[in-house]
Structure 1
Amino acid sequence: MISVRTVLVGLGLAFTAYLAARGLWWTSPVGRPLLVILALGLYLVTTWLCLFWERRPSRRSGDRDPAPRQPTVLPVWAAVLALACAVIVPSAISVAVGPQSRTELFATWYLGGIGVLMTIVMVRRRPWVAWSGMVALAVASILWMGVGAALALGLVGSIVWVASAQLLVASMNRAARDTSRLAQLQRAASAWQASQSGRQRERRVQVQRALAVAGPVLARTIATGGELDDEERLSARVAEGTLRDELRGPRLLDDDVRTELAAARRRGATVTVLDEGGLEGLDETSLAAIRAQLAGTLRTSRSDRLFIRTAAHDTVAVTVVGRSGASDGMSDEDAVDLWSEIPRDPEPPAP
């Protein structure tokens, strides 16, 4: 598929070749033909260098495919060469053809030619060089052929080309910025949508787990009109505690931890699970090791009251405190019969 850039480059190449050919179509004697040919050669070489020369971006092995190419900034040496061409060619052609032919078509081609060159320079993002070249073209053409002739024979059109190119480049820059901003917004929207989808899936899982835990107890309560025996009341308390665990500390739970929490409640212990932050930066492997160590701690515990909290600490991930006896005050150190700190990077459980 032919790109827009290829079409524009082809048009620029054809137009410069046409202007150069018109400069060689002499309809009257030329005093210094060699000077005309040298000026044409300088113009063609400079224009085609500005049209085609660009530094190819280096691609590393891990880079993605580059975006569609836009006109790159013209190198400084090429911009200086283009400005020198805008200064030299008009005077060289005017001197070479002589006073009697300076307004002939083969002698005024440089008005359009330098305009095309400065348009290319403008598109290659050298606006100051382009307008400096246009000033040089205007001064030289007015000095050699007069204000009226210069304006009538192509100077105005060249100025319009360069101004239009500047407006086009400004529009392209705005479009590129808008495209980048739109891409950022699209990525943010996609991330938000993915986050919402993840939360919806998590809520569905929690609802399904809640129904699985509390559903049988609720069904039995409704069926008996609230008249439950001791075992059913214990199951209801265990279900209530399990639901609280799912809401307050879901990142601490897996099947083994849930089993040990239920066993602790069935033997009469009061269990409180709180996730107060500190586990956000851990991967699944570290979380699995923490849960395995927590399950082992609960399995050996015989405390009447268990407090399980995450810790926003550099080295400690979870703190497990067990208390027994009649005292309710946390200041009573004798009542603390379990104190366990699970590190953020525990040893993985043995297979």
Structure 2
Amino acid sequence: MISVRRILVILAVAFTAYLAARGLWWTEPIPYPAIVVTTLGFYLVSTWLCIWWDPGAHDAARHSRQLPVWACVIALADAVIVPSAVAVGVGAASRTESFATWYLGGIGALMTIVMVRRRPWIAWIGIAALGIASMVWMGPPAALALGLVGSVVWVALAQLLVMSTDRAAADTEHLAQLQRAASAWQASQTVRQRERRVQVQRALATAGPVLARTIATSGMLTDAERADARLAEGSLRDELRGGRLLDDVVRAELDAARRRGAHVTMLDEGGLEALDDASLGLIRAELASTLRDASSERLYIRTSPHDSVAVTVVGRSGSGQGLSDEDAVDLWREIALPPRD
């Protein structure tokens, strides 16, 4: 399939060939035809090199199609040499004839190509060189009337087009980033909704039987049923406040701690959001081991936003009367963050 770029390249080659061919349509004898023909050949070769040269065409990264420095030097040499060579070759009597003024459009087209290839300073220097040379050989009025103004306009329009294209590309990239961010947010919301549904289902499975029994007995529960209700309440609080720390083993250890009479408080204060499942699994396993060995009357489990600590487990026993707060602490365990690759 023919791309838009290939079509533009073909048009540029055809247009520059047409401009150069005008230089061969002599309507009268010229003093140095060899100079004119050589100049035309030099112009076509250098111009087509600027059009076709694209070392990044097969590069997967698709780097910017900026014209290489050596090609810029050749283009500037065209702008300096071609006007003077043509003026000398056709002679003083024919310098304003159509076959002698083709370089006004030809160099203008070349500098337009240089501008499109993202070398604006080179393009404007080339236009300045063209303007100086053409005015010297044929005079300012003739140069301006025979094509110099058009070349300046071409280069200016090319620069505006390049700037507009770059701005459109930047806007497109920005919109793509916003779209990716929106997609990521939507995916995260979907995951959170799924997690909430799982939590609701687990809450119903945990508290449903107790609530049904409470309604059926009008609140007249036995001691065992009241204990089950307290356990269900604690489990629900764990699910709501510390869901990232929970798995089946941790839930079992929390239930065992409450059944032996311990009061357990769990709170997720952040710091675990960036961890993967493997790291969370290590933290949960260490937390379950800590709970299994704990004998404190009150257990406080909190996540930590610290750079090296994931979870802090504090256990306290006794009434604390006659003892300082530090003396009442009989368990202090900091679970470190797993090392990251």
Pair in the same fold by TM > 0.5 = yes
With over 3 angstroms needed to count, the CA separation of the structure-2 counterparts of 1:137 and 1:261, relative to structure 1, is same
* Among 148, 168, 171, the residue aligned to 1:175: 168
Residue deviations 1:243-298 (CA, integer Å, cap 9, x gap) = 11112211221111112212222232221222334434543223222322322333
Residue deviations 1:104-143 (CA, integer Å, cap 9, x gap) = 2221211111111111111112222222222222232233
Letter of the 2:8 partner, please give it.
Answer: L
With over 3 angstroms needed to count, the CA separation of the structure-2 counterparts of 1:104 and 1:57, relative to structure 1, is closer
State the match for 2:70 in structure 1.
Answer: 77
Q: Which region of structure 1 is more displaced relative to structure 2, 265-274 or 8-17?
A: 265-274
Residue 317 of structure 1 aligns to a residue whose secondary structure is strand
Residue 308 of structure 1 aligns to a residue whose secondary structure is strand
1:117 and 2:91 are equivalent in the alignment = no
With over 3 angstroms needed to count, the CA separation of the structure-2 counterparts of 1:90 and 1:287, relative to structure 1, is same
Letter of the 1:225 partner, please give it.
Answer: S
CA displacement at 1:234 relative to structure 2? 0.9
Residue 31 of structure 1 aligns to a residue whose secondary structure is coil
Q: Matched residues in 2 for 1:310 and 1:329: separation? A: 30
State the match for 1:25 in structure 2.
Answer: 25
State the match for 1:145 in structure 2.
Answer: 138
CA displacement at 1:44 relative to structure 2? 1.1
State the match for 2:250 in structure 1.
Answer: 257
Q: Which region of structure 1 is more displaced relative to structure 2, 168-177 or 150-159?
A: 150-159
With over 3 angstroms needed to count, the CA separation of the structure-2 counterparts of 1:330 and 1:273, relative to structure 1, is farther
Tell me the TM-score normalized by structure 2. Answer: 0.89
Residue 159 of structure 1 aligns to a residue whose secondary structure is helix
Q: Matched residues in 2 for 1:250 and 1:256: separation? A: 13
State the match for 1:37 in structure 2.
Answer: 37
Letter of the 1:169 partner, please give it.
Answer: V
Q: Which region of structure 1 is more displaced relative to structure 2, 16-25 or 228-237?
A: 16-25
Q: Which region of structure 1 is more displaced relative to structure 2, 301-310 or 106-115?
A: 301-310
Q: Matched residues in 2 for 1:24 and 1:329: separation? A: 112
CA displacement at 1:299 relative to structure 2? 3.0
- Matches of residues 213-292 of structure 1 in structure 2 within 5 Å? 213-292=206-285
Q: Matched residues in 1 for 2:128 and 2:167: separation? A: 27
Tell me the TM-score normalized by structure 1. Answer: 0.87
With over 3 angstroms needed to count, the CA separation of the structure-2 counterparts of 1:127 and 1:251, relative to structure 1, is same
Letter of the 1:127 partner, please give it.
Answer: P
Letter of the 2:165 partner, please give it.
Answer: M
Aligned residues: 339
Q: Matched residues in 2 for 1:189 and 1:24: separation? A: 61
With over 3 angstroms needed to count, the CA separation of the structure-2 counterparts of 1:83 and 1:318, relative to structure 1, is closer
Residue 86 of structure 1 aligns to a residue whose secondary structure is helix
Q: Matched residues in 2 for 1:140 and 1:336: separation? A: 92
CA displacement at 1:81 relative to structure 2? 1.9
Note the aligned Cα RMSD (angstroms). 2.5
1:344 and 2:337 are equivalent in the alignment = yes
With over 3 angstroms needed to count, the CA separation of the structure-2 counterparts of 1:341 and 1:93, relative to structure 1, is closer
State the match for 2:195 in structure 1.
Answer: 202
- Matches of residues 330-341 of structure 1 in structure 2 within 5 Å? 331=324, 336-341=329-334
Identity of aligned residues (%): 71
Residue 220 of structure 2 aligns to a residue whose secondary structure is coil
CA displacement at 1:57 relative to structure 2? 7.4
Q: Which region of structure 1 is more displaced relative to structure 2, 150-159 or 225-234?
A: 150-159
Letter of the 1:257 partner, please give it.
Answer: V
Q: Matched residues in 2 for 1:52 and 1:33: separation? A: 28
Gaps of at least 5 residues in structure 2 are none
Gaps of at least 5 residues in structure 1 are 60-64, 347-351
CA displacement at 1:40 relative to structure 2? 0.9
Q: Matched residues in 2 for 1:112 and 1:122: separation? A: 15
State the match for 1:349 in structure 2.
Answer: none
Q: Matched residues in 2 for 1:112 and 1:332: separation? A: 91
Q: Which region of structure 1 is more displaced relative to structure 2, 277-286 or 241-250?
A: 277-286
